[in-house]
Chain A
Amino acid sequence: MPKLMQTGIEGLDRVLCGGFLYHNSILLKGAPGCGKTTLGMQIIYNGATLYDEPGVIVLFEQFPQQLFRDVSSYGWDLRGLEEQGKLRVLFSEPEEVVSPDRMIDPPLVSKVQAAAYEIGARRVLVDSVSHILNLTRDQREARELLLRFINALKSIGLTPVLTAEAENTAGAIGVDEYLTDCVLNLSSEAARNKTFAIRELSIRKTRGHDHLRGRHVFRLTNRGVEVFPRTPGRLPESSVTTGGALARLSSGISGLDELLGGGYTQGTSTIIAGMPGTFKTTLGVQFVTKGARSDEKCILVSFSERPGFLARLMEEKGLPVGAMVSEGRLKILHYVPKETFMEEVLAHLEAEFRAGGVTRLTVDGINEIERGIEEPDAYKDILQAFLTLCQAYGVTALFTQKLEQLSGTSPLSNINYASMFDGIIYLGTLEIESAVHKVVSVLKMRGGAFSTDLCEITCDSKGLTVLDKFVGLSGILSGNAQGQYKKTVEELFQPLYFIRDFLEMLGSPDVDEAQRAMIIENLRAEANKLVDKLKTHFNVKQ
């Protein structure tokens, strides 16, 4: 495999399976304002600064001063690079690619050659070749002009990066696309669910090597172009899929680990689904703070609350989120769905996972992912990408999902794509003994036995606690759920069992008078206990 010319844009190099082949001509094609020039500049700038490959920039539209000013907003000091002899910027007229004599190089080629030799350039950007094609209406002549120019640049030993305007006619293929080795199409369109335009990049061809198919989202940020590949790159073999019993990770919640059969199974993804106000976020945060307390590397992705506000909310529950973030034990990635592409979130997470050591992840509000996705059908794909990523890196993950209103016969039917998750925890409310209680139930947990009991869950200044289980439940999904604490029922029954036992003793033929009196005394005591308990339970004063 020949050495590839990296662009230095991580996502783009992944899309290109490593980079471009040196001396291939690269065409960046798109409508005005979609980021062609910025991308081209970045390839040159990164070449000079990251790979010690000086570059030449040829401008037809812009004066160099204007360019220097514009790109300084990305933190790129082109003037400084020129002073260091790593860059030459040439302002030219398109006519300079026309040679008066076929035997003589066009003036622009001579200029580029001189600049390239001076600084040892490996890359050249021409912005844009549309000006060359517009020099003549004769297509054949235009084609020849451009081809000669590209070949001249290659013969100098440069890898040409060319920008070009997209054709006005949809689906039309320009002559420039035939003449170049690699074509990147860039587009920018208003997005339905976003506050900004959606920018996408696709590769029409890369002669001589492979690339990732499909359209890949990109952004213009204050660091330049960031590309988020549609599919994750090569993922490692999951460390937890090979041999041995799967370890359990504590939920950090007293009582919940018992329901889970010891904790969450390592490397699995669990969905925490529930109505608003049923402690979904707290449960997710308590999971990552539990890991952070043990110096595990944990990440919290929040699609709703801002980190500062979230930290304040959690600190009231005894979860020192703010301190953990400051100490670097917990990382919070906050995204506003309307301003974010999920590919971007996935790319950030993958970078974190690749850096190593991440054990726990909580994604708070996956229902927000659905809102942030342009095509509704893509939700499942994105969800799958999240799950695959976590599994590949052995990260144990929780995803919280808000349920608006329960319907159907089971909470499961209200969870989107429930079957994709290894574990499912349901959080809800229940009317018990004339009061509304929050409840938790584990509906699924791969990797071993777990309890399906429905238990009360409470929250105080020390976080969440799972309490006693309920019995005799009915109408959970009708909104009129009723039931009893198991403990209450047991306590009511206890004196009755004793009364039964004492009566059995009383019936025994070998009990003498003194013993009989003792039994009757105990019977009376148990009967009184029963009366007191029933009075308290049913709130009877008399």
Chain B
Amino acid sequence: MGKTVLIADDNESVRTILKLTLQFKGYTIIEVDDGAKALDLLLAGQTPVDLLISDIAMPNMSGLELLARLRGEERFATLPILICSAEEDATEADMLKRGASAFLVKPCPPSKLLDTVRALVG
């Protein structure tokens, strides 16, 4: 059975690229355009999510806040979270320290995204 990936990004084109890249490889995609919606969806727990891919700069709730809130919940302590950002200040070391499972700099070629996603959820 295909894995489910939740994509949180306020840029529609970015979501499309991620969605198509992953859909072509058999992943099921859920997409939201801000951090708060992603948190609500995960906390509701109606749809099991295997991986969260999140941007940092988003309206309502940033990716960093989303990350912190999820890592504060015991049931999401091991959820793979991939942070993708174009922010200059964001570094892999910092993101891993904050609890991310992996970090990619945007724009990221589809092949690299796929490699990272496979490494995280198979």
What is the interface of chain A, defined by CB distance below 8 A to chain B?
Answer: 490, 494-495, 497-498, 500-502, 504-505, 508, 510-511, 515, 518-519, 522, 526, 529
Contact = CB atoms under 8 A, between A and B. Distances in A.
B86 A505 contact: no
Contacts of A497: 107
A518 B21 CA distance: 11
A494 B14 CA distance: 9
Nearest to B16: A522
B60 interface: no
Given A490-B86, A501-B21, A502-B17, 10 more contacts: A498-B107, A500-B107, A501-B17, A504-B109, A504-B111, A510-B24, A515-B24, A519-B20, A522-B16, A522-B20
Contacts of A522: 16, 20
Nearest to A258: B89
B24 A501 contact: no
A498 B111 CA distance: 13
9 contacts: A498-B107, A500-B107, A501-B107, A504-B110, A504-B111, A515-B20, A515-B24, A522-B16, A522-B20
A471 to B, nearest CB: 11
B13 interface: yes
Interface extent on B, as a size class? 10 to 19
Nearest to A497: B107
A511 B24 contact: yes
Contact of A494 (B13, B16, B20): B13
Given A510-B24, A515-B24, A501 B86 contact: no
Contacts of B107: 494, 497-498, 500-501
Interface of B: 13, 16-17, 20-21, 24, 86, 107, 109-111
Contacts of A510: 24
The 3 A-B pairs at the shortest CB distance, nearest first, are namely A497-B107, A501-B17, A498-B13
Contacts of B16: 498, 522
A498 B17 contact: yes
Nearest to A505: B110
Contacts of A519: 20
Contacts of B24: 505, 508, 510-511, 515
Contacts of B86: 490
A495 B17 CA distance: 11
